[in-house]
Amino acid sequence: MNDDIQIAELTPGEERFEKIRKRLGFLLAPTVFLAIYIAPLGLPPNAHNLAAVISSVIVLWICESIPMPITALMGAAAAVILGVAPAKDVLAPFSDPLIFLFIGSFILSRAIFLRNIDKRLAFAVLSLKWVDARPSRILFAFGLVTVFISGWMSNTATTAMMLAIGLSIIAFLLRQEDETGVKINRAYPTALMLMTSFAASIGGMLTPIGTPPNLIGLGFIRTLTENEITFFEWMMVGVPVVTVLFVFLFLYLNFLSPSGVKRIDGAHEMIQSEKAKLGGWTRGQKSVVFAFGTAIFFWIFSGIVAIVAGETSIEYKTVNSRFPEAVGAIIGASMLFLLPGDKEGEKAITWSEAVKIDWGVILLYGGGFALGVMSFQTGLAEAVGRGMTSLIPLSGEIGLLVVGTLIAIVVSETTSNTASANMVVPVVIAIAQSQGVDPLIPALGATFGANLGFMLPVSTPCNAIVFGSGHIPLMKMVKYGFLLDVFGFIVIVSALTLVSIAM
């Protein structure tokens, strides 16, 4: 989302590991492809060929030997070449409505970033009188605004923006320490940096557009299970999950990494000064807020109608069919090119800025979605589901919820959250269907689980960005990230179990 975002520099040991990992992919991917291609699997030819393609794609995703979006495109092309399905069928997911929800929401969040609306919100919260320059309250307010912003725009961009604010606070603390002699516990800057990354990742679960794994999971659920989950319905689960996880995150960071002082003299004035530098609301900022508010209205409108008139009413069915989330995103993004910017004749966003959205995520979604859908169309998913059923110690809806969520979290520690969702969600759906179990709840567990993975700098771009600040010892990220992974697993499974009982 932001071309200026810098990922942490790697240590020499990490650089060697990354080189080996990427080179290994070039060796393993063709080896795995050939091994599966010639193996007697007893599958129909198109399913057999697809198994070879998907296996090699997964290897390349894990090793990241080439950019993951390109790997997804190559997988789709290989499926056509090997006769798995015609090109029009293989490439159809690239025009799925969720693609346009991606594009519209990415353009909207790009405008928010360019107009500094996210920064304005951050300093507005941090400058509240309640915060009162108290370190624990600064940590809470800092994390709260990070969670909220991340629910509506890129986690990575949110982390980068909040990192700059967090580093400013830390620099001020260190200056005050030199001037006043009041020592700040060195664990507090670590807590502030970890809050930046962890809160951004948690906030991504707030809405369907908060992070790509959400939309990927919803796409598989809609297409493969025929369950349509609206924006409003997602938030009914996402908001409680995010709230509980954030409160837990704040409590343990505040307890394990206290500042050592009750109040930081001058901190409130410093934050007020930074807020003042932003000036008053500009015409361009007001335009972006109006456009974004319009999109949000369309995203939640059908849910409101469902509550008022009922999900079986004609009113709900009409609104839901004519104003899906993708259309709301397109309307909101289009308004940015109609509403005025700050200068005479300027619009809220220019096309040259709008095209700088993360097209790689969109291509990765399209390619991964295509492979997942084809696995069901060819019967490969059914075969995989039957084969893995005997290997999984748990069965039934809740058993698969536990397994699916756990696998997604573990996979997310070693590869991107987006790739994790692409790999795990369709497999969980296939296993559920082979067992005769409703796949909705297990698939949602895998989707939410793909958003976790907090232990390592390579787990998410958010972790990598804050690790480069120099304020986070690696083992603290591992320890605190493990705590959040475990608690996140418990919260997700518990929340979705309650949803299952209520259905």
Q: How confident is the model at residue 161 (pLDDT cuts 50, 70, 90)?
A: confident
Q: What are phi and psi of 347, to 5 degrees?
A: -105, 170
- pLDDT score, position 179: 65
| Domain co-membership, 210 together with 137 | yes
Does residue 298 form part of some domain?
A: no
pLDDT at position 419 over 80: no
Domain count for the chain, please give it. Answer: 2
> What CA–CA distance (Å, rounded) separates 475 from 473?
6
83: containing domain? 1-90
Q: Helix crossing, 155-180 with 267-277: angle to 10°?
A: 130
Q: What is the pLDDT of residues 339-349, one digit of tens each?
A: 998 888 899 99
Tell me the DSSP string of 256-321.
HS--S-S--TTHHHHHHHHHHHT-SPPHHHHHHHHHHHHHHHHHHHHHHHHHHH-TTSHHHHHHHH
* Residue 426 belongs to some domain of the structure: no
Task: Decide if pLDDT at 54 tops 90.
Answer: no
Q: Which residue has tokens 């107009």?
A: 115
**175-221 per-position pLDDT tens digit:** 766 666 667 777 888 888 899 889 999 999 999 888 888 988 888 89
DSSP assigned state of 241: H
On whether both 124 and 268 belong to a single domain, the answer is: yes
Percentage of residues in the chain having pLDDT higher than 70: 92
Cβ atoms of residues 90 and 53 within 8 Å = no
Domain's final residue, options 90, 109, 132? 90
Mean local confidence (pLDDT), 151-167: 81
pLDDT at res. 203? 92
Question: What pLDDT shows up at residue 5?
Answer: 41
Contact 167, 469 (CB under 8 A): yes
Residues 154 and 241 in one domain: yes
10 in any annotated domain? yes
- CB 440, CB 227: distance < 8 Å: yes
The answer, yes or no, to whether residue 503 has pLDDT greater than 60, is yes
What is the predicted pLDDT for the residue at 302?
Answer: 81
30 with 64, same domain: the answer is yes
Distance CA 382, CA 433 (A): 8
Q: What are phi and psi of 236, to 5 degrees?
A: -65, -25
- Residues 194 and 220 occupy one common structural domain: yes
Same domain (yes/no): 53, 104: no
132 pLDDT higher than 80: no
Average pLDDT, the chain: 84
* Residues 21 and 103 grouped into a single domain: no
Which range is most confident: 148-152, 227-231, 241-245, 399-403? Answer: 241-245
213 and 188 within one domain: yes
- pLDDT band at residue 3, thresholds of 50, 70 and 90? very low
pLDDT of 137 over the 70 cut: yes
Please indicate, yes or no, if residue 481 is contained in any of the structural domains: no
Q: How many CB atoms lie within 10 A of CB 173?
A: 22
pLDDT of res. 176: 67
Is pLDDT larger for residue 359 or for residue 264?
A: 359
Is the pLDDT assigned to residue 464 strictly greater than 60?
A: yes
From 224, 250, 280, the end of a domain falls on: 280
Do 15 and 80 fall within a single domain? Answer: yes
Q: Are residues 103 and 231 in the same domain?
A: yes
What percent of the chain lies above the pLDDT cut of 90? 27
Confirm whether 62 is domain-assigned. Answer: yes
Q: What is the pLDDT of residue 1?
A: 38
Q: How confident is the model at residue 389 (pLDDT cuts 50, 70, 90)?
A: low
Whether residue 355 is predicted with pLDDT greater than 70 in this model: the reply is yes
Q: What angle do CA 9, 12, 13 make, to 5 degrees?
A: 110
Helices (H), 310-416: 314-322, 325-335, 351-354, 359-377, 380-389, 396-414
- Average pLDDT score over residue span 442-458: 86
- 126 and 55 in a single domain? The answer is no
Task: Give the per-residue pLDDT at 282.
Answer: 92
Is the confidence at residue 8, as pLDDT, over 70?
no
**Is the same domain home to 182 and 271?**
yes
List, in order, residues 6 or more apart from 469 with CB less than 8 Å away.
163, 166, 167, 193
Does residue 164 lie within any of the structural domains?
A: yes
Question: Of 258, 280, 302, which residue constitutes the final position of a domain?
Answer: 280
Structure confidence by residue, pLDDT tens digits, 101-113: 888 888 988 898 8
The whole-angstrom separation of Cα 50 and Cα 183 is: 61
Residue 361 domain-assigned (yes or no) = no
Residue 502 lies in a domain: no
pLDDT at 296 > cutoff 70:
yes
